[in-house]
Structure 1
Amino acid sequence: MKLKEIDQTVYKKKQRKVAVILCLIFAVLGLGLSTLLRHYFGNPEEANTMVNLVGVLAGAAITIGVFSRFVGRPYYDELRYAWNLKRQALKIQNHRHRWELLLEEGDKTAAIVLAFYYKATLQIQHLEGNDFGYNDTLKRETKFLALCQQQGVEADPDLYSIDMLEAVKAQ
């Protein structure tokens, strides 16, 4: 995965629009299906919690199905990119302590993976307007770059490949 520049304004606008539309679809389907199921299968003298739950779950499943049919369209490119970037950053985050230990030993792959992690995290925090997290990550990245310089390893996030994560899984 390669880092790309995307416009924060466009990203936020699309993210909000998609969230509102999905919420509306889910609300209409969940309430509508619950009402229909209660009408046909409900019992007026007893609680219809299970019938309502089935309606809501069916509404959620249909909403997810509808969204999955549209998410591949070019309109969603920024949202898909950010989603995939978050997933990659989380995969690295889950084993960051191992990567940091490898970096202290002078491992070049660890430097590349961590460089990608910091750039990806900074980009996500910028896109989502997380200024506190952004400043904190920026400080950690500065320490990381100093360590890379001390170890004499190049920290180029453009060299990152998903395959590099297998190195830590094998340990």
Structure 2
Amino acid sequence: MKLENIDKTRYRKHLNKVILACIVGLIVLSLSISTLVIYLVNDGESSHFWINFAGVVIASIIIGSILAKYKQHPFMYEIAYVWDLKQVLNQIHRKSKKINLAVNENDVTAIEIMYFYYKACIQLYTLDDNTITLSSLNIKAAELDRQIASLNLTISTDNFERKSLSAY
């Protein structure tokens, strides 16, 4: 995965519209589905909890399917990019203990992974206005930059390949 420049304003605007559409869709679909099922099978005495729950589950599946179908649409570009970025960062985070041990041993691949991780986290936190942890992340990124400089390496986020995670 390559880091791309994302327009924060456009990303937030599109994300807010998609979230609103999902909320409205979930409400309308779940109420419609559960009301229809209750109308068709109502015995007048039982609880409708499980029917309502099923309506929410079915509505969630429908909305998830719609989002998956339109993930490649230009309107969804920034949202899909951030979603994919979060998945990659989660994969790296799950292996971070082993990767950090390898970074301490000056493993170049591990350094490339963590360099990408820090730069991607900074981009993600900036896009999501998560500035609380940004300062500690910048400190860790600066430490890694010093290590890269001391090893006379040239590292770029373009060096990162998802398949390199399999080594850790």
The TM-score normalised by the length of structure 2 is 0.93
Deviation of the 1:54 alpha carbon: 1.7
Q: Does 1:109 align with 2:109?
A: yes
Q: Which residue of 2 aligns with 1:156?
A: 156
For 1:7-156, list aligned pairs within 5 A.
Answer: 7-156=7-156
One-letter identity of the residue aligned with 1:49: F
The CA distance in 2 between the partners of 1:44 and 1:25, in whole Å, is: 28
Deviation of the 1:136 alpha carbon: 1.8
The CA distance in 2 between the partners of 1:56 and 1:105, in whole Å, is: 50
Contact 1:108-1:154 at 8 Å conserved across structures: no
Which range moved further: 26-35 or 65-74?
65-74
Q: Deviations over 1:40-87 (max 9, x none)?
A: 112322211122222221221222222222222111111111111111
Unaligned runs of 5+ in 1: none
Deviation of the 1:151 alpha carbon: 4.1
Which range moved further: 98-107 or 16-25?
98-107
The CA distance in 1 between the partners of 2:84 and 2:62, in whole Å, is: 23
One-letter identity of the residue aligned with 1:93: H
**Match of 1:130, SS?**
coil
One-letter identity of the residue aligned with 1:105: E
**Match of 1:147, SS?**
helix
Q: Deviations over 1:106-131 (max 9, x none)?
A: 11111111100000000000000111
Contact 1:111-1:154 at 8 Å conserved across structures: no
Which range moved further: 65-74 or 112-121?
65-74
The TM-score normalised by the length of structure 1 is 0.92
One-letter identity of the residue aligned with 1:84: D
**Moved runs in structure 1, 4+ residues, more than 6 A?**
none
Matched positions, count: 168
The CA distance in 2 between the partners of 1:125 and 1:88, in whole Å, is: 14
Unaligned runs of 5+ in 2: none
